[in-house]
Amino acid sequence: MQADYVIVGAGSAGCAMAFRLAEAGRSVLVIEHGGTDWGPFIQMPAALSYPMNMARYDWGFSSEPEPHLGGRRLVTPRGKVVGGSSSINGMVYVRGHARDFDHWAESGAEGWSYADVLPYFRRMEHWHDGGHGGDPAWRGSDGPLHVTRGPRRNPLHHAFVEAGRQAGYGVTPDYNGARQEGFGPMEQTVWKGVRWSAANAYLKPALKRENCGLVRAFARRVVIEQGRAVGVEVERGGAVEVIGAGREVILAASSINSPKLLMLSGIGPAAHLAEHGIEAVADRPGVGANLQDHLEVYAQFAAKRPITLYRYWNLLGKAAIGAQWLFTKTGLGASNQFESAAFIRSRAGVEYPDVQYHFLPIAVRYDGRAAAAGHGFQAHVGPMRSPSRGAVTLRSADPAEAPRIVFNYMSTEQDWIDFRACIRLTREIFAQPAMAEHVRFEIQPGPGVQSDDEIDGFIREHAESAYHPCGTCRMGRRDDAGAVVDPECRVIGVDGLRVADSSIFPRITNGNLNGPSIMTGEKAADHILGRQPPARANDRPWLHPDWESRQR
C-alpha cells in the first residue's frame, strides 16, 4: 500500500485535499477508521441529533472534569465516519469574520489573512441564495460545496430577526458576505434536501478517479525515518501494517486526533512524551496546547401559540417527516431547522461580533430531549473568542486509548463577563414586541435567575460545548517555539509531514468551524502542490463605523 500522499482522516479538510490532489494527477490514499455515511440518520438534515449520539459514527470523546464548570465532563463528539464531523454536525455554514483571518496573519500565519483566504472560500462554494437576497459578488458559484438557506416558513424565524431590528441591531442579508454583524437568514450545507458533507462534496467525486483510494483502518502513528515522514502505521483486520507515502503524510484527523498522532509519533513536548516512554523526534511544546472551543447556553422560551416544531415531536410526526424526506427529499426533514441567526457585539469597544445566535423554533437539546413545557423555541448563544485555553495530552503510549482533553472552560474573569452579557442581551431581544407576542414565559435560565451570581450558577450547570474544538497544532512562524506547523502547514522539525485541519487555527473563528476547516483543506492542497496562490481579494468587509463608542 503506497501513494504519493497519504491523508489521515476523511473529514472536512481531508476530503477537500483528497479531491484537489487527485484532480492534479497525484496518487492519494485516505485513511479513515470510521465506516460508511450511507443511511438516513446522516443524510437527512433534520435527523442531526442522531448521528452525533451514535457510537457507530462518533469517537465518543469527553473532557476531563472541567474545574470551572462544577467538575462536569462535557461530551466532545468527533465524526468517526466517512466525511468526519461534517457527517454528524449541525450543517451550519459560517465562513468566520474577516478579522478572524487577519488576526491569524498578524499572529504569524502569513498568507492567511482574509484577503488571502476569501478566494478559497469562493472556490469551494456553490452558493444558492434561495431568493432571500445576499451578496453574490462575495460568494462562489461553481465550487463542490453547495450552500443553501432553509425555507424559513415558520413565522418565528422572521420574528427573531425583527426583534433584533427592534432592539436596535442591524439586519444583514448575508453574514457570509460583506457584513457578518446583524440578524438574518442562516446558511446550511444542504443540497436537494440532503446533508452536503465533505464526503458528498469532495471525497465521493475524488474516489471515482483511479488515483484516489480509501483505506478503512485505524492510524496508530506516523512512521519517521531520518527526520522524514515515510508512511503511516495502521491497524486493520487485527494486523498492523505500514502504508507508505512517496511524497508526504498529511494529518487531517481533527483537533483531538491530529495532536494525539503527532505525540505518538514523537512530535510534541519532549518531557510529556518521556513520561510515556516515547522518544522525541521533534520537541514541539505547542502540540496539544492552545485548545479552544465555543461554549453556549440555550435560552428557552415557552410559546403562546402551537406554531413550533413541537407538534411533530412524537412518533407519528417524526415518521411522517421521515417518510416524506425518504421519498421526495423535501419537507421538514430537508432542513437542519437552524434558519435564522445573528452575530452581535457584546459591548462598545469590541471591533467585530463576539456573540453568535442560532435560532431554533423548538425547545430541545442536542441529545434530542425536548423541554418539558411542550411548545417552545430557543436561541443558542455564547461568546465567540474566549480567552481560556486547554490542552490535549496523551493518557498513555497506547494508540487505542483516548487522549486526555481539558478545555479549561470559563477559566478567566472575562469569560464570565462575556457570558453574563450574552444572557442579558438575549432577554432584551426576546422582550421586543416581535418576539414578546410569541413568548408565554422563560423556561431557562428562568425568571429566578437575575443576579450575576445566579447567572454564573446557571452557566456552571448548563453551558454546553458547541462542538468547535480547534487550535491544538497551531500555525505560526518557523521560529515561534509554540507553533507546530508553518504557514504552508508543514510540521516544523520533520520533513514530509503536514497537518491541515481545524487544529492549525491560531485562534477560533466566529461561528461554526466546518467552513473554515474545508477552506483549510483547499488552501493546504495548493501549498502541497507548490502552486501559486490565487490573487488576493480587494473586497472591503463591513465593520460598524462606531464600534468604539456603540454596542449596536
Give me the mean pLDDT over the 209-225 stretch.
Answer: 98
Handedness of CA 253, 57, 520, 9 (dihedral sign): positive
User: Cβ distance 112 to 105 under 8 Å?
Assistant: yes
How many whole angstroms separate alpha carbon 204 and alpha carbon 352? 37
**Do 204 and 56 belong to one domain?**
yes
Give me the mean pLDDT over the 237-242 stretch.
Answer: 97
Give me the mean pLDDT over the 190-212 stretch.
Answer: 98
User: Residue 371: which pLDDT band, with cuts at 50, 70 and 90?
Assistant: confident
pLDDT in tens, 461-500: 999 999 999 999 999 999 999 999 999 999 999 999 999 9
**Position 303 in a domain:** yes
- Lookup: cell for 132: 432571500
User: Cβ distance 402 to 123 under 8 Å?
Assistant: no
pLDDT in tens, 342-356: 999 999 999 999 999
The CATH number of residue 264's host domain is 3.50.50.60
**Position 547 in a domain:** no
**Do 436 and 510 belong to one domain?**
no
H helices present in 431-507, as ranges: 433-436, 452-462
Is there a binding annotation on residue 89?
yes
The helix/strand/coil state of 464 is strand
**Do 159 and 304 belong to one domain?**
yes
User: Rounded mean pLDDT of the chain?
Assistant: 97
Give me the mean pLDDT over the 362-379 stretch.
Answer: 85
User: Residue 383: which pLDDT band, with cuts at 50, 70 and 90?
Assistant: very high
**Do 257 and 287 belong to one domain?**
yes
**Do 320 and 433 belong to one domain?**
yes
In this predicted structure, what is the pLDDT of residue 537? 97
- Smallest CA-to-CA distance from 99 within 116, 114, 119 is with 114
Question: Does the N-terminal peptide bond of residue 445 adopt cis geometry, omega within 30 degrees of 0?
Answer: yes
Percent of the chain whose predicted confidence (pLDDT) is above 90: 96
The CATH number of residue 425's host domain is 3.30.410.40
**Do 17 and 49 belong to one domain?**
yes
The helix/strand/coil state of 361 is coil
Sheet strands (E) in 88-210? 125-127, 145-149, 182-185, 187-188, 190-191, 194-195
**Do 78 and 105 belong to one domain?**
yes
Question: How many domains does the structure of the chain reveal?
Answer: 2
The reply to whether 527 belongs to the active site is: no
**Position 546 in a domain:** no
In this predicted structure, what is the pLDDT of residue 131? 73
Domain of 235 in residue numbering reads as 1-146+186-291+390-401+469-541
pLDDT in tens, 133-174: 888 999 999 999 999 999 999 999 999 999 999 999 999 999
In this predicted structure, what is the pLDDT of residue 365? 80
In this predicted structure, what is the pLDDT of residue 81? 98
**Position 552 in a domain:** no
**Do 128 and 234 belong to one domain?**
yes
**Position 548 in a domain:** no
Residue type, 483: A
Is there a binding annotation on residue 92?
yes
Task: Output Rg (C-alpha) for the chain, integer angstroms.
Answer: 22
Is there a binding annotation on residue 223?
no
**Do 522 and 457 belong to one domain?**
no
**Do 478 and 377 belong to one domain?**
no
**Do 254 and 314 belong to one domain?**
no
**Do 344 and 266 belong to one domain?**
no
Among 97, 375, 468, 544, the active-site one is: 468
User: Residue 367: which pLDDT band, with cuts at 50, 70 and 90?
Assistant: confident
How many whole angstroms separate alpha carbon 528 and alpha carbon 504? 15
In this predicted structure, what is the pLDDT of residue 372? 74
pLDDT in tens, 58-102: 999 999 999 999 999 999 999 999 999 999 999 999 999 999 999
Give me the mean pLDDT over the 128-133 stretch.
Answer: 80
Element (H, E) at 230: strand 228-236
Query: What's phi and psi for 333, nearest 5 deg?
Result: -70, -15
Q: Is the pLDDT of residue 458 over 80?
A: yes
- Lookup: cell for 248: 508526504
When comparing pLDDT for 52 and 195, which is higher? 195
**Position 39 in a domain:** yes
Long-range contacts of 328-334 (CB under 8 A, 24+ apart): 328/193, 329/192, 329/193, 329/194, 330/193, 332/46, 333/44, 333/45, 333/46, 333/47, 333/193, 334/44, 334/45, 334/46, 334/190, 334/193, 334/194
